[in-house]
A and B are shown apart, each in its own frame.
Chain A
Amino acid sequence: MTAVNGGRPTADGPVDGGPTVTAVDDGRLVEHRIGPGDDIPHGEGRAYPVAGDLVAVFRLTSGQLRAVSAVCPHAGGPLADGLIDAEVVICPLHQHVFELATGCSRTGQPALRSYPVRQDPTGTVWVSAPAARASAPPAGGDGR
């Protein structure tokens, strides 16, 4: 759905290059601007701080994006450094396997949080995360 190839955007969703954070959905998820999609090479992942959590954003070989929490629940391994395929990421420390779409572990670990992620037509990547605990931004607002 949000496939982008070679920086040529074909993504859906509204063009919105402005604020760092926009509230969308029913007010519970907030969309966070991550940065240019070109920063995430095909077949690799990069880690970004989002709403107090660290999120690993992966670009599949197909160009699609996936986002899950970036820290392996087993021993804190940096998942953005892991090997991926179309379905899973493997933690580089002890080879625990997690599904990219759901965050579920295939090796008996607690699940990762998975995040909606998209690339807009300008090539910017957005990750949706639950509104910050203390101060949920008003609908349509852009406060942090």
Chain B
Amino acid sequence: MTQRRPRLVVVGNGMAGARTVEEIIDRVGPDRYEITMFGAEPYGNYNRILLSNVLSGVEAEDGIFLNSLPWYEENGITLRAGVEVTRIDRFARAVHAVDGTTTPYDKLVIATGSVPFVPPIDGAHHPRRGFHQGVFTFRTLDDTRAMIRYARDHQRAVVIGGGLLGLEAARGLQQYGVSVALLHAAGHLMNAQLDATGGDILRRSVERLGIDVVTQARTERILGRDAVEGGRLADGRTFAADMVVIAAGIRPNTTLAQVSGLPVERGIVVDDHLRVLDEPDIYAVGECVQHRGQTYGLVAPLWDQAKVLAGQLTGTDPTAAYHGSRTATKLKVAGVDVAAMGVTAPERDDDEFVVFAEPRRGVYKSVVVRDDRLIGATLVGDVSKVGFLMQAFDRGSPLPEERVRLLFDLGGPPAEVSAAELDDDTQVCNCNGVSKGALVATVAGGVRTVSGVMDATRAGKGCGSCKSLVGQIVEWAAGGEVAEDPAANWYVPGVPMDKPTLMAEIRACGLRSVSAVFAALADGREDAKSKMGLVSLLRMMWGEEYVDERGARFINDRVHANIQRDGTFSVVPQMKGGCTTPAQLRRIADVAEKHQVPLVKLTGGQRIDLLGIRKEDLPKVWADLDMPSGYAYGKSFRTVKTCVGSDFCRFGLGDSTALGIAIEERFQGLEAPGKLKLAVTGCPRNCAEAYVKDLGVVAIEGGRWEIYVGGAAGAHVRKGDLLATVDTPDEVMAVTGRFLQYYRENANWLERTYAFVPRVGVDRLRELIVDDVDGLGAGLDERMATAVAGYRDPWRERDAPATPGQFRTALPLVPLPAVPVRAEGSWS
């Protein structure tokens, strides 16, 4: 016996109703419910936001439809387009429609959206014929068509309402050759989103487009019997007009809910599950709802709600809850860029308010900061900083000390140049040679996420220092329609979790190998791009209990050497603190000679690099060297560079060499989210370049030591932040250990300290690591002690390969484009 499918009835075929159904089908397919959708308009489902484009002629009508009629058919949805639902019978669980039909439901979704708000204006309604024939609202496709028809053979249009909708209507109507005036009841345009100064600057820009703007203009009466002739304002002024468009805002459409006895205040009252109050089987979604006292008239909250509701209705995510949306808007209003989020003006005495206004150029920018968090921003005319601001507003990310940087890019390095200013042929990713134009083209080709564009172009996949600029360009190119990239916060792309969640799951399930993580947390789907990050994390978490799978390691970590461009490897023996002995030098020289090493080179980390070693020769080279690995590969602790220090140097204040060796000895080979390069320098002359290291130690007068963290001198250059000043080398060692362990546990995969330290904030790090305010210290020390105790020199694998063919060549028999070997004396 086949069971009857539950019936889902959706009242409203607009963006919210249709998106909810799409989300449901995405989750469980079309067969879970027998779905019926009612739409008051006689069309399929279209994107109402784009009606302005239809009005202004930028887009054809077909371009704005979201779901075609075949979509409804393919998914077995019964579409009742043009059929208005008149009443819900909550007790009989059925809806009555205007055509006399009764449709029973098991679950009901109300998505009736909103209706235009029409202020009381005498003469707008004809007593018997409804709206005066020259008076329009701007909400539906039919409204839009009617406005276009009328505008074509009339001269003067007046738009009532100086909000977003009114501005768009005014701009759109101009395309039909009518003269347009805009009447706004409040003191300045877009008063819901902008403060008075911003509104005035917008007004100038709008007036420059040839639209007359009248503020403080409350329309009292529309004049004309058969045709519209004009109108009169409350203060007695009059205006002439052939047509009037009322675009004074929207109100939740709650008529159906009201007549059916559902709880309605400003909107239909719903809980966090979008369930109508006290109704087990009735839900509401979109602009018709009131959630926690809020109603929304933007599209983003509607998408959020549709997701939650679909999770509820399908049972796929019964814990899904809607907690309200932070609304940020970025629009082109009547040709002027406007972005607004949060509050428009300071509300408390200690709120910071930074304002910049340049009326002549039509530029206005302001931000409101409370407790170092962005709580509001307004941009008119120049929205180049909107990407950063929206991010700071949404995620509460840290703000620059100089607040003016929130509004402007102040002659910073290229990464801080705004996306819009760059020429198309500007090279954005210097590692992989990707231009701004290539990124923009990829976005235009339909890729809408930052990671998607990075995958497609490989921008940001080299040293990674251009990632933020790539993000800004993608955002700019997508015109604010950059898709929220859920993977942005994941630790690795193949497991949908951020680092803390992932670590908690790994611990809770006792996952000790990469394959176990994929099996338990990624539906068994392996992902090559995630393997390295997981290996690093698991080794950090489990130490010796980690179950090694060689295939999960990057080649460098499989053969403990750094792959070079011709497929050969480089061998760098350990040379603690950059110190060596004649015996070691001799041995290195002998090995280089015996194996005909093509290039012997000193590294930036004060070691000797033997370059051009064939993979199959690695074990022999290591054996002949008989020195420990120097970790010139892998995401791990690499070197501690030192200067001569106090032994020979006339200026040396502390024994940097001894301390550097001690640090390198203790933390050698330690796994980390990114490579770690350290330095100890004996005086502030800084011969070991300690200020630009992941962790740098500087001896200062009085026998004390400064510890800097988060420095970099690679593709990204940054002076480290002073974390602590301590009295003894032991204290240096202790603080170093804690910092490294905190970084290991909390940094994202491949997040170098130069990004990690500013993200957390050096003040916060000092509290945690030096002052130990949260009591983390002992735990960090202990876990670090376990990690360093588990150290094994990987070059010992020379005696017994870990896998068959570990050192088998992967190079072709035909020679590759070989790296030229430099013969002695052939330089210059």
Mark A residues whose CB is within 8 Å of B.
38-47, 49, 54, 56, 61, 70-71, 75-86, 88-90, 92-97, 106-108
Contact = CB atoms under 8 A, between A and B. Distances in A.
Given A47-B808, A61-B515, A107-B455, A83 B803 contact: no
Contacts of B456: 107-108
Chain B CB count within 10 A is highest, among A56, A71, A89, for A71
Interface string B194-219: 00000000000000000000000000
A41 B803 contact: yes
Nearest to A41: B803
Given A75-B565, A107-B458, A40 B805 contact: yes
B455 A93 contact: no
B551 interface: yes
Contacts of A78: 563, 567, 809-812
Nearest to B803: A41
A108 B438 CA distance: 13
A86 B810 contact: no
Contacts of B461: 95
A101 B558 CA distance: 24
B528 A90 contact: yes
Most buried by A among B528, B531, B565: B528
B797 interface: no
B259 to A, nearest CB: 55
15 contacts: A40-B805, A41-B550, A41-B805, A43-B550, A45-B810, A46-B808, A47-B808, A54-B812, A76-B812, A78-B567, A81-B555, A83-B532, A85-B525, A90-B529, A92-B555
A38 B554 CA distance: 21
Interface in B538-595: 549-552, 554-556, 558, 563, 565-567
Interface string B503-533: 0000000000001000000000111110110
A93 B531 CA distance: 16
Given A77-B567, A78-B810, A84-B551, 13 more contacts: A40-B804, A41-B550, A43-B515, A43-B552, A46-B805, A76-B817, A79-B810, A81-B555, A81-B563, A83-B554, A85-B527, A90-B528, A107-B458
A4 to B, nearest CB: 15
A61 B810 contact: no
A72 to B, nearest CB: 10
Nearest to A77: B567
B816 A76 contact: yes
B528 A92 contact: no
A41 B804 contact: yes
Contacts of B810: 45-47, 56, 70, 78-81
A41 B808 contact: no
Contacts of B555: 81-83, 92
Contacts of B811: 47, 54, 78
Contacts of A86: 525-526
B823 interface: no
B458 A71 contact: no
A29 B447 CA distance: 40
A107 B455 CA distance: 7
Contacts of A82: 528, 555
Given A47-B810, A78-B810, A39 B567 contact: no
B245 to A, nearest CB: 49
B712 to A, nearest CB: 22
Q: Which 8 A-B pairs have the closest CB atoms?
A: A43-B551, A78-B810, A80-B810, A85-B526, A81-B555, A76-B816, A54-B812, A85-B528
Contacts of B808: 46-47
Given A79-B810, A86-B525, A94 B550 contact: no
A88 B530 CA distance: 12
Contacts of B260: none
A76 B803 contact: no
Contact of B551 (A61, A92, A107): A61
Contacts of A80: 810
Contacts of A96: 458
A54 B556 CA distance: 21
A76 B567 contact: yes
Nearest to A42: B551
A61 to B, nearest CB: 6
Contacts of B527: 85
Nearest to B816: A76
Contacts of B567: 76-78, 81, 93
A17 B476 CA distance: 62
B525 A38 contact: no
A5 B531 CA distance: 22
B813 interface: yes
